[in-house]
Chain A
Amino acid sequence: MRILITAASAAAVLFTTLAAVAADPVNVYSYRKEELIRPILNAFTEETGIEVNLITGNAGELHQRLKSEGKNTPADVLVTVDAGNLSRAKEDGLLQPIKSEVLEKYIPEHLRDPEGYWFGLSKRARVFVYSPDRVDPSELSTYFDLADEKWRNRLLIRSSTNIYNQSLIAAMISEFGEEKTQEWARGLVANFARRPQGGDSDQIHAVEAGEGDLALVNTYYYGRMLASDDADERAAAQKLRVFFPNQDGRGTHVNVSGAGVTAYAPHKENAVKLLEFMVGEEAQELFANSNQEYPARQDVAPSKEVASWGTFKEDNLNLSVLGELNKEAVMLADRVGWR
């Protein structure tokens, strides 16, 4: 036993020494897919010389991994694709507050945690994509209006298991209260053209094919179709239009992909550097162009496809609210039969 302990400690010492000799890296756990985050991390390594190690995964499972690894987690930065996920990580004590002038200067206040636990890096709006042949733009107004009977059998939207829909419901709850939102969701479900299925791209294709008239989707899915290599995809997308709802009210519901520094980050300094790099112009342009999102920074332009939809008024609701209301939103969806 004693020999084993000695051997183990010798190995441990050796490991730590070896690790100290190599330059400190920064370790990233990301819910954002590798294809979409790697280019930005590579740009960071090129500029700073700091190596970035990456694990990608689904929000729920990676969250669980970070949580069970506890104080010994190797992760420094958590990158996620929805504010709801970020605030859940904050609630579970997986993140730490960061004070950074750079981050505070460039990221608008409603796109980051009030206490600095997480920061939004790119934006997406949840909008209507509709067929101009079957929908008169004057019919369109708000999310709330979609519960109206005139939309019976015309709406396309994915399952409420998806976090984007959960966050939309949470935003509705914060505006209208639970009771009125439930009434709205019930009306919305009654108007579905088909049982929720597939992803956002599938909803857009279904509008194009005529299975429904209007799809409720994230902007980048439509942006990607417009910018597709495939001529058929581009042609299909060009037959449709985008509408930003709630322009006379609170503004269109937006969400972010964002990041925070983990509570027990072994390389905190590098982690903050990476976050600051991600709001730099170069990284923001990569965010915008690799996935057709809106940069979090106001002074960086979106891609030409996204820019073609014009500017819009966005809901300035602080996104941390979405996380707080997430569970309520999922239960509400269950109650109204939005599968």
Chain B
Amino acid sequence: MTTYSVLETEEALLPSPVGRRRRGFWDYVPFAVAALVAVPVVVVLCHVFVPAGEVWTHLAETVLGRYVTNTIWLFLGVGIGTAVIGVGTAWLCSMCRFPGRPVFEWALLLPLAVPTYAIGFTYAGLFEYAGPVQSLLRSAFDWGRGDYWFPEPRSLGGAIAVMTLVLYPYVYLLSRAAFLSQSVCVLEVSRTLGRSPFRSFLTVALPLARPAIVGGVSLALMEALSDFGTVHYYGVDTFTTGIYRTWFGFGEPAAAAQLAAMLMVFVLALILLERSSRGSRRFHHTSARYRQLPGYALTGVRKWLAVSACLLPVLLGFLVPFGQLGAWTIATADKMLDASFFALAWNSVSLATITAVIAVCVALLVAYALRLRGTVPMRAAARAAGLGYAVPGSVIAVGVLLPFAWLDNRVDALARDWLGVSTGLLLTGTILALVFAYLVRFLAVSLNTVEASLGRVTPSMDGAARSLGASPGRVLFRVHMPMVAGGLMTAGLLVFVDVMKELPATLIMRPFDFNTLAVKAYELASDERLADSASAALAIVVVGIAPVVLLSRAITRSRPGGEGP
């Protein structure tokens, strides 16, 4: 959602003045693509103009206050939680030396592969009143109901905790990439001027990594805001549960879309606020000197503090849910694992791969066009296209469904009139429509990542290449793409993992008799057969682990001038 490139400076560097330039590929194609992806968001927003007076009075009088308060708490909790864990662990793993660090480097990403609902079910099951932990306490101390205090797992606090645990890797990932790409010179300057390592972190590294940190936190927050499964199961009323209830319970799409629009405006406002507070600061590096990162060796208490700071998120965000899913899978293996299971896995993996490739190409196209010509319509289209990530999946899926079905029915009507044949539904219910829906959902993920990487490439590169006569397309292929290859891979793998976990759009858009792992896991879990659902959820995690490990290696290698410390 963020542009880190410096458009003003760039314009000055480009060879031909804007006025005389011939308009071409880079003016139209990226805009058209971004606008197309933005259509479903606009479709949802258009419902705003449908009056829904009576329902609104009802909502405002009864539940709206609760939706707003809960959403704000969730927002703050997950925002602060993911920022602290993500940035803290990224700094430790990039700059310090302590036991186990090479393992933590990639292990800290593992929770990314765990679907939020799976971790939600696991912790609710473990810590609820009827669960093993409280039962053990009761029998050990001979307590009864009301004799002791225990935090309620299915609560706002619980929802914040489980979401933080699976979403912090976004922040970790992007800020680690930023720390690794920082030129060590600035840190050395800071140290020679007498700053302690910690002060250097606070006053130099952190502000420089700001676009990446904000990018990561905003991904985490958008995902938290659009989550339905976890908050619903945890009994927390947020905007998202409200949108569902209003749309699918009341049957009032207009009022629901108005709630969704409020949510989008809220997200947009925050993005703009952050952008304007950045002012005219620039975040790319001008020095090409990349040397070994310092690698402060930690000793004594600090060493063990660092180890536990990295171990806890992995333990709670990955090992515990993985263990629980594994135990359930073993218990249900003989009835759940059969040949059809591999078909599910194949469907999931192929959809995720196709979408990842397309999402990266589109993101690169759009991000480079923004860098090249950040015109107002182009920027508006890119931002709108990225909003799909913050809207609850089912709502955006309906936003995709409506224009597709409309188009299909128009084509059918025309074909009947002109040719006397019915074409039926050409696009609705096809894989193509489903992949498009994924693109609408997850473009923000790839766009954020690609923009962040492009932003770290100094505009002087563009200037130099262009003044040597290279066309914009050639600059992209020959100069930028090799430089941001790590970022592109990160973007692709993030989208891959997200599509593996995606549920609402898959559920509503898929063709006949086409299931994925996520659909299978959801169907069983929502039918309250948690143990049976575990094998599919576990498969999502296992398939997700490989890209996550690849991801970490890509980042470590991405550092210009060689490996990290």
Chain A residues engaging chain B, CB cutoff 8 angstroms? 5, 8-9, 12-13, 15-16, 27, 33-36, 53-65, 68-74, 88, 159, 161, 166, 194-202, 205-206, 208-211, 221, 230, 327, 330-331, 334-335, 337, 339
Contact = CB atoms under 8 A, between A and B. Distances in A.
B523 A65 contact: no
Interface stretch (B31-39, B294-302, B471-479, B502-510): B502-510
21 contacts: A8-B415, A8-B423, A9-B415, A12-B415, A33-B524, A35-B523, A35-B527, A55-B510, A57-B507, A59-B248, A61-B397, A64-B508, A159-B232, A199-B528, A202-B128, A202-B528, A206-B128, A210-B145, A331-B58, A334-B63, A339-B237
Nearest to B144: A210
Contacts of A211: 129-130, 145
Given A5-B418, A68-B405, A72-B422, A60 B248 contact: yes
Given A12-B419, A68-B405, 18 more contacts: A12-B421, A56-B519, A57-B507, A58-B394, A60-B244, A60-B247, A61-B504, A62-B508, A64-B398, A68-B398, A68-B401, A72-B408, A195-B154, A198-B233, A211-B130, A327-B251, A330-B245, A330-B250
B409 A198 contact: no
B11 interface: no
A33 B512 contact: no
A78 to B, nearest CB: 14
Nearest to A70: B409
A72 B424 contact: yes
A194 B234 CA distance: 12
B510 to A, nearest CB: 7
B425 A74 contact: yes
B346 interface: no
Contacts of B233: 197-199
Nearest to B61: A335
A27 B512 CA distance: 8
Interface in B379-407: 394, 397-398, 401-402, 405-406
A201 B62 contact: no
A101 B85 CA distance: 66
B179 to A, nearest CB: 40
Interface string B507-524: 110111101000100011
Contacts of A166: 249
Q: Which applies to chain B's interface (DSSP): helix, strand, loop or mixed?
A: helix
B258 interface: no
A72 B244 contact: no
A289 B346 CA distance: 32
B148 to A, nearest CB: 13
Nearest to B62: A334
B10 interface: no
A162 B523 CA distance: 16
B424 A34 contact: no
B254 to A, nearest CB: 13
Contacts of B415: 8-9, 12
Contact of B419 (A5, A72, A208): A5
B122 to A, nearest CB: 14
Contacts of B531: 230
Contact of B251 (A5, A68, A88, A195): A88
Contacts of B504: 61
Given A61-B508, A68-B406, A334-B63, A161 B425 contact: no
B429 interface: yes
Q: Which of A5, A72, A327 has the most CB of B within 10 A?
A: A72
B523 A33 contact: yes
A53 B235 contact: no
Contacts of A9: 415, 419, 421
A55 B422 CA distance: 23
Contacts, number: 162
A166 B250 CA distance: 11
Contacts of B428: 65, 68-69
Size range of the interface on B?
Answer: 35 or more
B508 A208 contact: no
Contacts of B235: 159, 195-198, 339
A206 B398 contact: no
Nearest to A199: B528
Given A72-B408, A334-B62, A64 B401 contact: yes
B222 interface: no
Q: Which of B124, B152, B528, B531 has the most CB of A within 10 A?
A: B528
Contact of B508 (A33, A36, A65, A337): A65
Contacts of A339: 66, 235, 237
B458 interface: no
Given A53-B513, A72-B409, A327-B251, A208 B130 contact: yes
Contacts of A200: 528
B241 interface: yes
Nearest to A334: B62
A16 B241 CA distance: 43
B398 A205 contact: no
Contacts of B135: 209
B249 A12 contact: no
A206 B154 CA distance: 13
Interface string B522-553: 01101110010000000000000000000000
Contacts of A199: 233, 526, 528
Contacts of B406: 68
Interface string B47-67: 000000000001101110010
A64 to B, nearest CB: 5
Contacts of A15: 424
Q: Which of A59, A197, A230 has the most CB of B within 10 A?
A: A197
A33 B527 contact: yes
Nearest to A88: B251
Interface string B188-219: 00000000000000000000000000000000
Contacts of A35: 523-524, 527
Contact of A58 (B61, B62, B248): B248
B223 interface: no
A198 B154 contact: yes
Contact of B512 (A13, A54, A221): A54
B412 interface: yes
Given A5-B418, A200-B528, A334-B62, A209 B244 contact: no
Contacts of B234: 197
Nearest to B402: A68
